[in-house]
Amino acid sequence: MNCFTAYRSVIICGVGLLLLSGCTYSSDSFLSRGPDRGVSDRQLEAEGPSGDEKNERLSHDDTSLGAPEIPTDHPIAPQNRILTFDIAAAQAIQPLKFQAGDTAKVSVWGYPELDHVTNVHANGTITVPLVGEVRAESLTVEQVRKEISAGLKPFQEVSTPALRTGDSLTMVVWPNSELNNRSVIEPTGMVTFPLVGSVRAAGIELEAIQAEVSKRLGGFIRDAEVTLLPTYANRRVLQDHHVSVLPLTVQPRRVALIGEVGVQGLTEISGSLSLVEALAQAQLRRKTAALNSIIVIRDSMTDHPTYQQIRLGDFFDGKAPDQNIYLQNGDVVIVPKTFITKAGDFVELFFARTLPVFSWWTALHQASTAQESADTVELVNDSLKEQLDLITINP
């Protein structure tokens, strides 16, 4: 507990910088940027805030803050700008994606011996018979199925097609079906057929064996057509198989809500969760929240996070029905008090100034989803309430 208290003090110092400098600022950019501000920012500049939001803007002098130097290898360096996600795609409920700790049953139709129950390991893979490790984390059921099918492709053909002892050949003679016969290749490497006698088969190409059999039968039967069908012993191949992947157990999917909400912290996604539903559960403070400036950060625990500024006030007014998006696992929803003029710069500032806190939140989030621990989840919620509240805009 003492270690956690000390670590929390370090975190408070880190996020305190953001609180002192302020997260909401006017049209001038806080960070050095190129000319391209991104579609959402340009639209925001053109439209501007509506109603009382204009009065909520904070005047801010960039030069007085002393913009921080961002290393070129930093995740939010100019060449690694954080992009916006597609709000149109966010209107649909996304299919389930596997994460570490989930359990799946893999079945191969026609081959019950390949049925297997596997966990999604910490490295994001599952283990499948014949195939080995297959990537599963952040993939849908259909994507995992295709990965497994691709891994089984080499087993659809005989790896050593050359005939050997123990294999068998079936001779089919048209139109003399009474001569049809199946014969096993003997330890001597020979195979025996009616009228034909013994023919060397082990290590010999099938076409050569068929030519020899046809030649010998020609001395007894005129215009006979001979076909040889091989059966390989101890060399099974997959035929007419179909892979299915069934999620058996899944870890909780959660989003974090901070800012102008009554209940800050983690909210679990049960099936699907829209932004309005999440904010209702978190007791949105509509009187104090800047509803047209809600920030949703997506893929926050990856190397390529994305964001979107949501105009929920317009949604409530019936002007923007596309703004009530569905949330995904790991989303961070920030509900500010004041209008954010430059959403892109705000998100980058969020990562730049609160990186230690965010890394810490990420670690705790992963820990809470990797195991069913009420204590861990409660720790995340309490810590978010105490620490991440400093990230929100307080004039």
Q: What is the pLDDT of residues 119-135, one digit of tens each?
A: 999 899 999 998 999 99
Peptide bond into 175 cis (omega under 30): yes
Predicted TM-score of the model (pTM): 0.57
Segment 324-349 shows an average pLDDT of 86
Backbone angles phi, psi at 140, to 5 degrees: -80, 170
CATH topology of domain 168-231: wza like fold (3.30.1950)
**Per-residue confidence at 385, pLDDT binned at 50, 70, 90?**
low
* CATH number for the domain running over 103-157+239-249: 3.30.1950.10
pLDDT band (50, 70, 90) for residue 80: low
Look at residue 41 in the predicted model and tell me its pLDDT: 42
Q: Is the pLDDT of residue 162 over 80?
A: yes
Please name the amino acid found at residue 201. Answer: A
Structure confidence by residue, pLDDT tens digits, 310-331: 999 999 999 999 999 999 988 8
Q: What is the mean pLDDT of the chain?
A: 75
57-71, 100-114, 376-390: which is most confident: 100-114
Mean pLDDT, rounded, for 28-56: 39
Query: How far, in Å, CA of 90 to CA of 199, rounded?
Result: 68
Averaged pLDDT, 250-261: 87
State the Cα–Cα distance between residues 62 and 26, nearest whole angstrom.
Answer: 9
Secondary element (H or E) of residue 288? none
Do 103-157+239-249 and 168-231 have matching folds?
yes
Does the pLDDT of residue 106 top 60, yes or no? yes
CB-count burial class (<10 Å; 0-12, 13-18, 19+) for 371? exposed
The whole-number average pLDDT for the span 364-391 is 52
Least confident of 39-43, 205-209, 323-327: 39-43
Show me where the domains of the chain are located. Answer: 2-95+251-391, 103-157+239-249, 168-231
Cβ neighbors of 133 (< 8 A, separation 6 or more) are: 125, 126, 127
Six token digits for residue 14: 């880190």
H-helix or E-strand spanning residue 190: strand 190-193
Pair 87, 80: CB distance under 8 Å: no
Going by the DSSP 8-state scheme, the letter that residue 29 receives in this structure is -
* pLDDT tier, 283 (very low <50, low <70, confident <90, very high otherwise): very high
pLDDT in tens, 227-241: 999 988 877 778 778
pLDDT of residue 46: 39
Q: Which CATH superfamily is domain 2-95+251-391 in?
A: Outer membrane lipoprotein wza domain like (3.10.560.10)
Which has more confidence, 344 or 296? 296
Give the largest CA-CA distance in the chain. 105
Position 268 scores a pLDDT of 86
What confidence score (pLDDT) does residue 234 get?
Answer: 77
Tokens of 257: 């809500």
